[in-house]
Chains A and B, each alone.
Chain A
């Protein structure tokens, strides 16, 4: 069972956000294994370490100390081993600039951190059950930002 579990990695420096994230995943019905890194540097170390299994989905906060999410994104997309990683931007910001930039740099989806725990659960459910192959091939600026109906 554990082997089939979805491997999730969240890079976020905020304790509370990690807590919400963890709790939300526990309530999601899909089998998942959630790991955390606390800043951009740690994230890159983790990903570049061949001993670590690559996550199925990387949730990436943009505003992090030491190395920002955008810098990490650019670095990942430049690295041969990592460039096919599915990356979900997970940020407080919903500025057009951030959305535009991360879309261009090749992120797969943009999630604005919700201010409601139930909304967060819905989002996570949506993301983990998403058909990534289908989503990525039809990706455009309009469906890049995840919005819940």
Chain B
């Protein structure tokens, strides 16, 4: 699963996009607010102008009234009174409009009320002026008074109006200033926000294109590896299948179809399809192991037969494992091997093995039985010879005596041969019980077994310290007897045989013949003698059964002794070799695993 790329960038992409969207949302909300503020500001401007206009109107209406009143007073022509009469209406209308316009501003409202009371007073003054200018009720002093107070009121009204205008103007200025501030801050802020958003989007774009390139590369790799996989399956005669436990979907590799005898994707498999191909004999077991695979999380190697679409029977080996992918899906991966060729080879090998085993057994039992059954007549021959008494012997000719002696010698030799042969076959067939034994003790036993010959030949043994090993005791004893016996037998005439036995620990890699053995440490035991030695060209031959280097008249023997040694050492997973030069003594080396 190493080849699956990790696209962490998709997360950062998501973050970038979310930030960009927020910025854009923010931008549009700011734009909306600006728009609204602008609208409001222009409304306010209009509002202020309207108030101003109405105030101007009010003033001009009062002025009209004043002018009319003055004209009437001077001329006493009632025509001059017309604007005065209309002006009242105009004042009222303007006042109503102003009242509406200032309803949102308590201060202006108050001012307006003040203005209104001033206007009412002014109009009252006007009335009084008219009253006292009328020739019927003329009163100069009162008229002058009222005219003067009308003058002052008029000034107050103007002042009041100016005051209101000022307030409006200041308010408007304030508004405009604030608006200007907002408007001037807006563009820089918006542009920077916009460029940030743009940067983010560009970043995202770059990331996307990078991912795309990586994806393309991985896709290519994936294609190559899946191609290789499919090719390997074909060459290696195996196939894979995937069973998605979450979706219960089964996927066969191309070769899975082929090894079942179909073209790739010839059918849509489900989890039971495969069982249809399993040989009836194995169906139950395979179905059970398919069921168990979910609990055990893996499928142990199973061996079974399948029947291909063309009814050919093939031998399969299958295994499987439960995998969990990045998304937490449980996928069962199975591998099938077509092992028909190996299976057939195995069967052949098994048959040959059986044959070999059988023939080996036959040989061993033949050997055993032959030497056993041979003993019986031989024993009788020897017993019968022994029954020919001295008196009987005296009665026969010298020739017959001679023949009798030769029969006896031959029978004895045959006895030795049979005994040795028996010993050799027993080395092979008897139970091999490995017991931890002290080799020093076994050597002592061998020495006492050979005591008579050692004495006879005046031989001497120099024995080093031997280890304790897991061995078949009587076989190792036999090995020592045979090796020492061999050295004693082939000693130089006139020279007392001397045998040096030495032991040391070695590693298997020091001796090429031991490298294949499963053990690392070995004991190397050498038997060095001062005997007659042998031609080194025979150093392998001397371990072969019945191989002899000397005539039996000079050195009686059966050619079995060293063959037994070899057998014994091999039984112990060891190795034996011999080195010598003629008349310089010989060295027999035994390697035994620790």
Q: Closest chain B residue to A119 by CB distance?
A: B386
Q: Please measure, in the bound complex, the distance between the C-alpha atom of A46 and the C-alpha atom of B386, giving whole angstroms.
A: 33
Q: Please measure, in the bound complex, the distance between the C-alpha atom of A92 and the C-alpha atom of B422, giving whole angstroms.
A: 13
At the interface with chain A, which of B88-96, B243-251, B377-385?
B377-385
A116–B430 CB distance below 8 A: no
Q: How large is the interface on B (under 10, 10 to 19, 20 to 34, 35 or more residues)?
A: 10 to 19
Q: Verify if B253 is at the interface (C-beta below 8 Å from A).
A: no
A117–B372 CB distance below 8 A: no
Q: How large is the interface on A (under 10, 10 to 19, 20 to 34, 35 or more residues)?
A: 10 to 19
30 contacts between A and B (CB under 8 A): A16-B380, A16-B384, A17-B380, A20-B383, A20-B387, A23-B387, A92-B372, A92-B375, A92-B379, A93-B372, A95-B372, A95-B426, A96-B426, A96-B430, A97-B430, A113-B379, A114-B379, A114-B383, A115-B379, A115-B382, A115-B383, A115-B386, A115-B415, A116-B382, A116-B383, A116-B386, A117-B383, A117-B386, A117-B387, A120-B383
Mark B residues whose CB is within 8 Å of A. Answer: 372, 375-376, 378-380, 382-384, 386-387, 415, 422, 426, 430
Chain B residues within an 8 Å CB radius of A92: 372, 375-376, 379
Q: Verify if A118 is at the interface (C-beta below 8 Å from B).
A: yes
Q: Closest chain B residue to A118 by CB distance?
A: B386
Q: Please measure, in the bound complex, the distance between the C-alpha atom of A85 and the C-alpha atom of B376, giving whole angstroms.
A: 27
Chain A residues within an 8 Å CB radius of B422: 95
Chain A residues within an 8 Å CB radius of B379: 92, 113-115
- Of B382, B386, B415, B430, most buried by chain A (CB within 10 Å of CB) is B386
A145 to chain B, nearest CB (A): 14
Chain B residues within an 8 Å CB radius of A17: 380
Q: Please measure, in the bound complex, the distance between the C-alpha atom of A118 and the C-alpha atom of B379, giving whole angstroms.
A: 13
Chain B residues within an 8 Å CB radius of A20: 383, 387
Q: Please measure, in the bound complex, the distance between the C-alpha atom of A115 and the C-alpha atom of B372, giving whole angstroms.
A: 14
B473 to chain A, nearest CB (A): 13
1/0 contact string of A1-18 vs chain B (CB within 8 Å): 000000000000010110
- Not counting A92-B375, A95-B426, A115-B386, a sample of 13 additional A-B residue pairs whose C-beta atoms are within 8 angstroms of each other reads A14-B376, A16-B380, A16-B383, A17-B380, A20-B383, A92-B379, A93-B372, A95-B372, A113-B379, A114-B379, A115-B379, A117-B383, A118-B386
Q: Closest chain B residue to A23 by CB distance?
A: B387
Chain A residues within an 8 Å CB radius of B383: 16, 20, 114-117, 120
Q: Please measure, in the bound complex, the distance between the C-alpha atom of A114 and the C-alpha atom of B384, giving whole angstroms.
A: 11
Q: Please measure, in the bound complex, the distance between the C-alpha atom of A113 and the C-alpha atom of B377, giving whole angstroms.
A: 12
A115–B378 CB distance below 8 A: yes
Q: Please measure, in the bound complex, the distance between the C-alpha atom of A14 and the C-alpha atom of B426, giving whole angstroms.
A: 26
Q: Closest chain B residue to A96 by CB distance?
A: B430
Q: Please measure, in the bound complex, the distance between the C-alpha atom of A33 and the C-alpha atom of B354, giving whole angstroms.
A: 54
A72 to chain B, nearest CB (A): 19
Q: Please measure, in the bound complex, the distance between the C-alpha atom of A120 and the C-alpha atom of B383, giving whole angstroms.
A: 9
Q: Please measure, in the bound complex, the distance between the C-alpha atom of A72 and the C-alpha atom of B436, giving whole angstroms.
A: 37
